Amino acid sequence: MHPAVSYGKKAIEALVGIFFIFATAAYWLFERDRVIDAVTSFLSRPRRKKVRDTWELVDLKLGAFVRGQLVMIGLVSTLVSIGLWIAGEPYFILLGITVGILEIVPVVGPLIGLILVVPVGLSVDPQTALKSGAAVLIIRLAQDYVINPHVMGGAVGLSPLIVLTNAIAVTTLFGPFFVLLSVPIASLVVTIVDVTARGVDPAEAEVPTVLFPAGDAET
């Protein structure tokens, strides 16, 4: 397969995945209560409250994950902007924000960010392009191995080790484009295991906060 066709196919897959995520999020926002009522109606009354509380706990954790993503975009945008400014890159703020937003797109996003940064640096001189590209790569590595596990893991109450292990497993089983869903999947599995196997009361479980408590996001 021609490389251009391969990259085009990957870009389309990424866009479809992003569209699916946003469509699911929109549906969940507007139809959540109806879905919960429909599911719990098939259960006996003693189990309904526990299932509802578990469902709402997962929902709160996913809300924390979304806020964590927003924190990640802001943090990466700031770091990249500073790095590009030090490297002497023109339009460093605009490029930093663009790279930060693209970081949420697995595989393709960082590549597009790098492709944007290097040519702009070349408009100044090759040394600026090299320093700018190196800055983006270093920040990307720090994000993958330091920032992501702590920020996103903290957002849903997972240890960095679980986040990294689950990201590797999801990437291996389903492909790199699904790594964006690795943290929500891990949070869902851990929450269900805690409630069903460890006897954790979902109504008493503590939800990690990102900037502000999960409950405040719904008010």
What mean pLDDT, rounded, does the chain reach?
Answer: 76
The answer to whether position 64 is within a domain reads yes
Q: What is the pLDDT of residue 15?
A: 64
Is the pTM higher than 0.85? The answer reads: no
The answer to whether position 144 is within a domain reads yes
Per-residue pLDDT of 195-204, as tens digits, reads 888 777 877 7
Q: Yes or no: say if 120 and 95 are a contact pair by the CB < 8 Å rule.
A: yes
Nearest by Cα to 12 from 113, 105, 119, 104: 105
Q: What is the pLDDT of residue 219?
A: 43
How would you write the pLDDT of the chain (219 residues) with one tens digit per residue? 555 556 566 666 666 666 666 666 666 666 667 777 777 777 777 788 888 888 888 877 777 777 777 888 888 899 999 999 999 999 999 999 999 888 776 556 778 888 899 999 999 999 999 999 999 989 888 877 777 666 666 656 666 677 677 777 877 777 766 766 777 777 778 888 888 887 778 777 776 665 544 444 444
The answer to whether position 26 is within a domain reads no
The answer to whether position 123 is within a domain reads yes
Q: Yes or no: say if 171 and 91 are a contact pair by the CB < 8 Å rule.
A: no
The answer to whether position 13 is within a domain reads no
Specify the number of domains making up the chain: 1
- Dihedral angle of Cα 127, 138, 67, 106, to the nearest 10 degrees: 90
The answer to whether position 23 is within a domain reads no
The answer to whether position 74 is within a domain reads yes
Per-residue pLDDT of 163-189, as tens digits, reads 677 777 877 777 766 766 777 777 778
Domain that holds residue 54: 45-217
Output b/e per residue, 173-189; b: 16+ Cβ within 10 A.
eeebbbbbbbbbebbee
The answer to whether position 29 is within a domain reads no
